[in-house]
């Protein structure tokens, strides 16, 4: 990805993130998270992770943030009033964050930098020799395209098959848990 696109999407992401904690109205915060995640999806696509970029949009900005907006609507939240907050929690929070950023800068200035390995036609053709030559993955690689979705599916259903099945059970447990949680609170009224 050209540098200016990287900095553009990073700026969108960081401004969205800052707006989340700056806004008083929860609906504005939720929409800022959406902005932040759209910038993040742009960065994912710039890293040639097309599938992850698309599910970032579909799952996070599509499903999760709509769920948040539903709950904000359901609870009928008003703008947060200015409450008398002590100086100590603010200073402690900012101090923690500044210490984190300083540490991060210190570590990054000492670690050797790395540039992205090129994904051009020759290197993709070399990678194609590791796959079934008549398959779709090898065909796309030989044409000079990165078959991101096919490669993810290949890895998911071979190496990561068991974790994938367990994930299905986890989602079922979460669904049952949500139903049980909502039901109990209704019964206790």
Partner 1 sequence: MASLNDYLLVSGLLFAIGLAGVVLRRNIIIVFMCLELMLSAANLSLVAFSRFNAINGLPDYNGQMLVFFVITVAAAEVAVGLAIIVALYRARQTIHTDELTSLKG
Binding residues among 73-132 for partner 1 as defined by CB under 8 A? 74-75, 77, 80, 83, 85, 89-90, 92-94, 96-97, 100-101, 104-105, 108, 111, 113-117, 119, 123-124, 126-127, 130
∠ CA 146-147-152, nearest 5°, is: 120
- Residue from 8, 12, 29, 54 in contact with partner 1 (CB under 8 A): 29
**Residue 56 touching partner 1 (CB under 8 A):** yes
149 contributes a contact to partner 1 by CB under 8 A: no
Closer by beta carbon to partner 1, 10 or else 139: 10
Query: Which residue, 82 or 134, has its beta carbon nearer to partner 1?
Result: 82
Distance CA 33, CA 26 (A): 11
For 55-87, give one letter per residue: b (16+ CB within 10 A) or e. Answer: bbbeebbeeebeebeeeeeeeeeeeeeeeeeee
């Amino acid at each position: 990805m050209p540098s200016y696109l990287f900095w553009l999407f990073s700026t969108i992401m960081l401004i969205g993130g800052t707006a989340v904690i700056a806004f008083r109205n929860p609906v504005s915060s939720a929409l800022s998270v959406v902005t932040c995640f759209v910038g993040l999806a742009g960065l994912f696509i710039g890293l040639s992770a097309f599938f992850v970029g698309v599910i970032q949009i579909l799952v996070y900005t599509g499903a999760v943030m709509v769920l948040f907006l539903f709950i904000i609507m359901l609870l009928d939240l008003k703008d947060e009033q200015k409450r008398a907050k002590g100086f100590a929690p603010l200073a402690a929070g900012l101090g923690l964050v500044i210490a984190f950023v300083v540490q991060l800068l210190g570590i990054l200035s000492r670690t050797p930098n790395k540039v992205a390995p090129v994904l051009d036609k020759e290197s993709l053709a070399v990678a194609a020799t590791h796959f079934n030559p008549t398959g779709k993955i090898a065909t796309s690689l030989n044409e000079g395209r990165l078959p991101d979705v096919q490669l993810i599916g290949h890895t998911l259903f071979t190496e990561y098959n068991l974790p994938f099945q367990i994930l299905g059970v986890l989602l079922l447990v979460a669904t049952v848990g949500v139903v049980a949680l909502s039901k109990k609170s209704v019964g206790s009224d």
